[in-house]
Amino acid sequence: MTNSYANKVKILKVVTRNMRLAKWVDCNDEEMLKFLGLLIYMGLKKLPKMSDYWSNNILYKNKVVSQAMSRNRFELLLRCWHFEDSIHLTSNTDRLLKIRRFVQLLAGTFRNSKTPGEYITVDETMVAFRGRIKFMQYIPGKRHKYGIKLFKVCDDDGYTHDFIVYEGKNSREQIESPANIVMKLCHPYLGVGRSVVTDNYYTSVDLAQQLLKKKNTHLIGTLRINRKGLPKKVEQEKLSKGETIALENNDGILVLKWKDKRDVFALSTKHSIGFVTVQRRRNPNKKVMKPTLIAEYNKHKCSIDLSDQMASNANPARRNIRWFQKLAVELLLSTAVTNAYIIYKTHKQLSSKKSNFRENLCLQMLGITSNSNSAAREQSQRDHKFSKSLMADHRGRLIRRRCICYGKSD
């Protein structure tokens, strides 16, 4: 699609001889792999500007980037990087037309690469973006307040099994309610006794009934007090700190209210009324009593945050006016790389660091081996030794130093 877009732009737009696009040559798989490897490298080593990676400044100079690809070629590939033939395919209803097939392919790969455990968590995350798109969201509680919203389902280890890109209201793929989001994301993993963990945006009595009756799946999550179907006695009861009230209906849905610093409402189809001793996070030596439901929720709710934290390390995303490229970089070079690292660590049973995994991945994509690394070090050592035998004249030009033997008489 990148080659198709570049060739069609050359035909449809006025391209002069001096423009880079006039010298376009179709890329291949190997070159595109190096292009993605350079993007990963730019996340590992941050520089002020993208052009600084090819700079001759002694502070920025790096032979790895210049040997892999020229700056003009890299910027031209970035200019033409596309995932769909969007010049002729136009749609007023499909807002993800430029990236939909790529998103579907990536989500399918995530689902088929790993089987989730007993607990799976559903929540939303943000891809930072401030351009003009109809489905841009503002969530003040997130680290990136403006951007593209993703609904994700993750395992306890932070692996992203599936995701949905939110397209805004009045879109073709509009999802009506939070319950539908949970059912769509968790559909491949239902019916085998798993437990779905959600926050108060998704949790409801209706969702618990759907999962329990039809799909044989439990639901654990916090509740909003204005949800339908909650017992009035639990809502209106006045509690002191540490006290709890809970009611369970005939379907096995437990609604609990616990007084901590403030009232905490929670729902579960798996737990009964009971307490457990847990350690405080800020003071491990001090132990407190919490309801089993609350302790279990706190244990598994952070898998989405763990996934986002792992993906944010060495993130190669930069400011870009093209929203689909920004989303592709986030999904392919952050989320997909994080998933690959989790699978690699699980199968190899190694405790390798995420940064080491990214470094090795970058080297393989750029076609650099350990032998070439040693050769590069030897070359740099030879250059360093050679530079010692040079000196500068009054104009700053390097000249070879005369040997002292020339000054001796016969």
Each as own residue / partner, the long-range contacts of residues 2-7 (CB below 8 Å, 24 or more positions apart, any chain) are 2/27, 2/32, 2/77, 2/80, 2/81, 2/82, 3/27, 4/82, 4/85, 5/80, 5/82, 5/85, 5/86, 5/87, 6/76, 6/80
What pLDDT is recorded for position 320?
73
Please give the angle made by the CA atoms of 116, 122 and 128, to the nearest 5 degrees. 115
- Give the count of beta carbons closer than 10 Å to the beta carbon of residue 37: 22
- Distance separating the N- and C-terminal Cα atoms of the chain: 74
Question: Where does 249-389 show beta strands of DSSP type E?
Answer: 254-259, 263-268, 275-279, 287-291
> Could you tell me the two tokens for 285?
């030596």
Do 360 and 175 meet the contact criterion of CB atoms below 8 Å apart? no
pTM recorded for the entire structure:
0.81
| 2/82 Cα distance (integer angstroms) | 5
Mean pLDDT by 10 residues, the chain (410 residues): 87 75 88 93 89 88 86 90 75 80 93 92 90 84 86 93 86 73 92 91 92 87 89 87 88 90 90 84 80 90 89 81 88 93 83 84 85 50 47 56 54
3-state helix, strand, coil in the chain (%, to 5): 40, 15, 40
Integer angstrom CA distances of residue 40 from 306, 314, 331: 20, 8, 13
Integer angstrom CA distances of residue 107 from 187, 335, 339: 14, 11, 12
Nearest to 335, CA basis, from 180, 182, 150, 188: 150
What pLDDT is recorded for position 115?
92
> Could you tell me the two tokens for 222?
């916090």
- Give the count of beta carbons closer than 10 Å to the beta carbon of residue 21: 15
Nearest to 158, CA basis, from 353, 362, 373, 307: 307
- Helix, strand, or coil (residue 256): strand
* Beta-strand pair 254-259/244-248: antiparallel
Nearest to 269, CA basis, from 192, 213, 224, 313: 213
Helices 29-44 and 354-366: crossing angle in degrees, nearest 10, is 150
Q: Hunting for tokens 């490229």 — which residue is that?
A: 325
Do 76 and 3 meet the contact criterion of CB atoms below 8 Å apart? no
| 274/191 Cα distance (integer angstroms) | 27
| 276/291 Cα distance (integer angstroms) | 6
Do 51 and 42 meet the contact criterion of CB atoms below 8 Å apart? no
Residue 20 gets which letter from DSSP? G
What pLDDT is recorded for position 35?
93
| 300: enclosing H helix or E strand | helix 292-300
What pLDDT is recorded for position 386?
44
Residue 214 gets which letter from DSSP? I
